[in-house]
Each structure stands twice: as structure tokens, then as C-alpha cells.
Structure 1
């Protein structure tokens, strides 16, 4: 599932590709991927200019000229491709937004969605989300206060969107590996040094993910050299050598999630 670095990469690239551009046509291939009847969605979206594209947590918000917003959550398996009809992947397209002879294809939206909402409705959607971990206002003191209110395993807290927004299963493993902390360590057992290390690792891993274009395998457009440059340290690497201590990486299930870590140097 795309997480904060992937969605931040999409935001940056799409702002350049379609920011300020008019949506000339709309094609809906799967009605369940949108939240209103096809005719209504098309009427509200077609011929509208994309004013801005913003990210919140794992969402993208496309603000349209008429004030409406398109709220995108890719969920598991969702991705996008921008280009001409002849360049599109050989995959089922759930939604297509056209910009002249170029199109933004939404692919794999079986669990994900593209909803048209008012700004007020978008705000309601985000009410329960926690703070953005890479926001400059999210200082160590703010993080410390947040953790003081939590109990249980740190892995569970990191993927809880009401605690912090945007971190998912993949980057939580990476953060904990970088901080040299076990994913099942109880938050109440952390000393100040460990908490500081964790905060710094959150900043380092997420910013590294953004700088390297996230981990998505599929390019956003033909010739895209930015998307998918991030290589995991531990996530999805069961049995491989830890790059820090060379012990084998293990996989365990925690909070119903596959969790990868190095039992030797995460302690």
C-alpha cells in the first residue's frame, strides 16, 4: 500500500504534470471507485481546472476550480499512470481523467477510491488523523507528548493513523530497524534516548523515502526516473542478510501485519 513517501512523490510529480491544467474528459470504468452517480461525477469534474494538489497522510486532494475536491486513497494495490492512450499499461482502468491527448489513469482501485467532496467534507474525513510526522511543527517535544499517552507495542502505534498520519506497514519496519528497536517493544518501556532515536529515525526514513521516490514499482509516466527508487532495509526481506550486522532478517505477525526486523541488532 502506498504510504507517505509514495503519495508525496505522486503529489510533486502530478503538480508539475497536471497542475493548472483543465480536465477535458472523464471516463469511469468502475462505479464503485467513485461516490456519486457517474453523470453527476462527470458533470462536476469535466472542464474543471486542477488548481492545486495536496497530500494529507496517505491521501491526495485535487482541488478543482469550482471549489470541489477529488479525494484519492489508493489503498492496497492502487497506482496511477499519466500519458497517452497508446502508452497506458495493459491493465483495467477504473477511472480516467483526460487532459487533451494525455490522461491520468487510476489503476487497481478495488479497495481504493476517488471521491468528489466539498472542502468541508474533506475536513471531516481528516478529523481523526494524527499529526504529519514530517511537518516542521512536529517537534521532538510534540512527539514525546504523543508517546506519553500511548501504551502497547511501538509497531502498533506507528501504523495507527490516529497517532501519526502516513506511516504504514512498510516504513514502520524501516523506522524501527533504523532506530535499532524491536517492533514489539512497549512504548512505556522507552527511555529518553530510545525515544529520541525513534523520532530521528522517523524523520530520516520518511525523508529518505521521499528523496528516493518511494518504493512503488510502476512508473508514473513513460521515462519516469524518480518513482520507485527506495530500497527497503528490512521490509519484505525475510531470510536476507541485515545490511548492518549480517544476521538473517525474520518475519513475524504483529497486530495482524507481517512485520520484518533483525532480531540481532534490534533489541
Structure 2
């Protein structure tokens, strides 16, 4: 599932291509991916312009010039592609957004995800249950430590809980735990203040690095996109079961915590 780095990569790149372009057509191939009747959804978007793109957790918010919002959640398997009918990937699309310069934004794999149209107030209410953003200007090490020191249970479960910190999922939870030298199974109640400080810095470092490397999405956003997916080769533990740890040489282990797959290096990640 796309996480903070993947969605931020999309946000940054799309902002360079589609802002202020009038929407000339909408093609809806799967009605369940939207929240209105297809004709109403289309009529509401024709002629509108995306003036700003915001990321909130794992969501993208397309701010329209009339104050409304398109709320996107790709869920598991969702992808975006921006291009033409000639260079688009050979995959089924659920929604196609055509701009007046002929460029098309393809929403791919939205069988679990969605693109919903809301008022600004509705969108705010729908996202109100999300926890704070790690890179919010109000977030700092002390606030981060206060949030996690009040929690119990495993580190992995807490990191992927969107009500605690928004935007982190399976991949980056494991990468953050590795960078902090902590096992994903470590109990929060056993972590010291020093552990939490290290965790805060690890979370920032991993997410910044992953965003700069384009995240782990398999499909480039455009035909000229050389960035998206660059983090695939940089993962330290995620999806590396049985391979050697780059840090200690031990073998990467795969297990499960609360039904979620977990990767870690037993040689250099500690549980306390």
C-alpha cells in the first residue's frame, strides 16, 4: 500500500504538471471508485482546475478552484500514471481525468481505493481521525516521545496505526525500526527516553530519504519519470527475507505481528 513517501512523491510530481489546467473530460470505468452518480461526478468536475495538491497521511487532496476537494486513497494496489493514450501502461483503469492540453491522469488499481468529491468541510471531517503528521510544524521530538510513551503494545502496531502518526505503513515501519536498532516486536512500555529519541530521528531520516528516492512504487508516474520506485533497491530489511543484513551480516527474518508481515535483522535490532 502506498505510504507517506509514495504519496508525497505523487504530490510533488503532479503539482509540476496538472495545476491550473481545466479538466475537459472524465472517464469512469468503475462506478464504485467514486461517491456520486457518474454523470453528477463528471458534471461537477468539467471545467474545474486543480489549484493545489495536499497530502494527508496516505491520502491526496486535490483542491479545486471552486473550493471543493477530490479525496484520493489508493489503498492496496493503487497506482497513478500521467501521460497519453499512446504511452499509458497496459493496465485497466478505473478513472481517467483528461485535461485540456490532452494529458490524462490515469487512476489504476482502484478496486479497493477511491476518488471521492467532497466539500472542504466534509473532507476535513473524514480525515479528522488521523493522527498528526511527522513533518507538521507542531511536531518535534518531545511531542513525538510524549505520544509514544503513553502507548502500550508492539512498536510495529503503533507505527502503522494512523490514529497515532499518519502516513506510515508496513514497509516504512520496518525500515524505521531497523534504523532505530529496535525490533518491530519491542514493547513501547519498555522503551527508554533514549530509545524514543532514536526512533524519532530514525522515522524522520527514513521517510525523508525514501521520499527523495521516489518511494517504492513499481510504475513510473510519467514516461520520463526516473525517480518513482527508486527506494525499492534501498530497503534495508523490507521484503529481504533470508538475505544478509547490510549492517551486521545476520539473516533477515520474516514474521508476523497482529496479522501484518514484519521484516527485521535479529543481529542488530533489539527487543529489550
TM-score normalised by length of structure 2: 0.97
Q: How does 1:63-212 map to 2 (within 5 A)?
A: 63-100=63-100, 101-212=102-213
Partner of 2:39: 39
Deviation at 1:11, TM superposition (A): 0.2
Q: Which of 255, 258, 263 lines up with 1:260 in the alignment?
A: 263
List structure 1 segments (4+ residues) > 3 angstroms apart after TM superposition.
Answer: none
Secondary structure of the corresponding residue to residue 98 of structure 2: strand
What value does the CA root-mean-square deviation take over the aligned residues?
0.7
Deviation at 1:148, TM superposition (A): 2.2
Partner of 2:245: 242
* Alpha-carbon displacement from aligned partner over 1:172-207 (angstroms, at most 9, x marks no partner): 000000100011111010111111110100000000
Secondary structure of the corresponding residue to residue 209 of structure 1: helix
User: d(CA) in 1 for partners of 2:54 and 2:258?
Assistant: 30
List gaps (5 residues or longer) in structure 2.
none
Deviation at 1:136, TM superposition (A): 3.2
Contact 1:154 1:185 in 2 (8 A): yes
Secondary structure of the corresponding residue to residue 11 of structure 2: helix
* Alpha-carbon displacement from aligned partner over 1:236-262 (angstroms, at most 9, x marks no partner): 110011110111100001011000000
1:12 and 2:12 are equivalent in the alignment: yes
Deviation at 1:157, TM superposition (A): 0.3
Secondary structure of the corresponding residue to residue 14 of structure 1: helix
* Alpha-carbon displacement from aligned partner over 1:17-37 (angstroms, at most 9, x marks no partner): 101111111000000000110
Secondary structure of the corresponding residue to residue 199 of structure 2: helix
User: d(CA) in 2 for partners of 1:169 and 1:58?
Assistant: 12
Contact 1:134 1:206 in 2 (8 A): no
Contact 1:22 1:47 in 2 (8 A): yes
Deviation at 1:135, TM superposition (A): 2.0
Deviation at 1:144, TM superposition (A): 1.2
Secondary structure of the corresponding residue to residue 106 of structure 2: strand
Q: How many residues align?
A: 267
Deviation at 1:224, TM superposition (A): 0.3
User: d(CA) in 2 for partners of 1:223 and 1:112?
Assistant: 26
User: d(CA) in 1 for partners of 2:150 and 2:45?
Assistant: 42
Deviation at 1:85, TM superposition (A): 0.8
TM-score normalised by length of structure 1: 0.99
Secondary structure of the corresponding residue to residue 86 of structure 1: coil
Deviation at 1:127, TM superposition (A): 1.0
User: d(CA) in 1 for partners of 2:95 and 2:22?
Assistant: 16
